[in-house]
A = this chain, B = another copy of it.
Amino acid sequence: MDKSERHEKRMKRQKQVVDDSIKQADKDKGLLLVITGNGKGKSSSGFGMVARALGHNMRVGVVQFIKGAFSTGEEAFFRRFPDDVEYHVMGDGFTWDTQNLQQDIASAEAGWQVCKQLLTDPKIDIVLFDELNIVLKMHYLDTENVLADLAKRPAMQHVIITGRGAPQALIDAADTVSKIEDIKHAFRDGIQAQKGIEL
C-alpha cells in the first residue's frame, strides 16, 4: 500500500468517526460560551463570532465592560451596523486606571442592567459580554445573580462571555469553555499594542 492509499484509508476512518459523532450531535440550544485564560485572542474571538452571526443575518447585542477608556477598532467597526448590532460600552477603562472601588462596582452594576435587557429580548439572537469575567473575578458583580439571569434567557439565545479569570461556577454552567494560554506575546519583546491586532 503506497502513501496515497494509506492516507485515503486513514482519512476514511477519520471521516467515519467524525460522521458518527456529528450524527449523535443533533440538538439545538442557545449556548453559553466562556472564553478565558491569559493569552491573546479572547475578545477578538467573541467579535469574530459577532461577525459570523451577522453573516447569518442574526441580531447581536454587545456589552463591553472594561475597555470603555479605549477607542478600539471593533467598536468603530461594529457601530457601523446599528440595525443589527446593539453596542454598549460600559466601564471607565481598566480597573487600575480608575483606582476607585465604588465607581467600578457602580459601573459594573449599570452594565449588568444593560445585559439583562438584552437577555430578556427574544429578538436578540446572540450577545457578547466582553470582559465580564474580570468583573466577576473582582467581585464587582455576584456570580450567582449573573448565572440566575443567564438561565432565564430565551432558549435559543447564545451568550459569549470573555475575559481572564472566569469563576468556576460560570465554567460549570457553560456549554463550551475555551482557555487561551499565553505561549508568547510581542509586548514582552518591547512591541506596543498594534492597530488591528490589539486595538
Partner-B contacts on A (CB < 8 A): 3-4, 7-8, 11-12, 14-15, 18, 21-22, 24-29, 31, 33, 35, 37, 39-56, 58, 72-78, 94-102, 125-126, 158, 160, 171, 174-187, 189-197, 199
Query: Known contacts being A180-B41, A184-B175, is A96 close to B51, with CB within 8 Å?
Result: no
B27/A56 in contact, CB under 8 A: no
Distance of A181 from chain B, by nearest CB (Å): 4
Q: In the docked arrangement, what's the CA distance between A125 and B46, Å?
A: 22
Query: Known contacts being A77-B51, A196-B49, A197-B31, is A184 close to B177, with CB within 8 Å?
Result: yes
Quick one: copies of this chain in the complex?
Answer: 2
Kindly name the residue among A52, A100, A184, A192 whose own CB sees the greatest number of chain B CB atoms within 10 A: A52
Distance of A184 from chain B, by nearest CB (Å): 5
B72/A26 in contact, CB under 8 A: no
Q: Which residue of B lies closest to A75 (CB)?
A: B55
Query: Known contacts being A73-B53, A176-B186, A177-B184, is A96 close to B191, with CB within 8 Å?
Result: no
Give 11 A-B pairs besides A31-B186, A37-B180, A52-B74 with Cβ atoms closer than 8 angstroms. Answer: A7-B99, A8-B99, A8-B100, A15-B96, A28-B191, A43-B48, A48-B50, A51-B77, A51-B78, A52-B72, A53-B73
B178/A183 in contact, CB under 8 A: yes
A99/B196 in contact, CB under 8 A: no
Kindly name the residue among A14, A75, A177 whose own CB sees the greatest number of chain B CB atoms within 10 A: A177
Residues on B with C-beta less than 8 A from A50 are 48, 51
Distance of A125 from chain B, by nearest CB (Å): 6
A77/B52 in contact, CB under 8 A: yes
B195/A53 in contact, CB under 8 A: yes
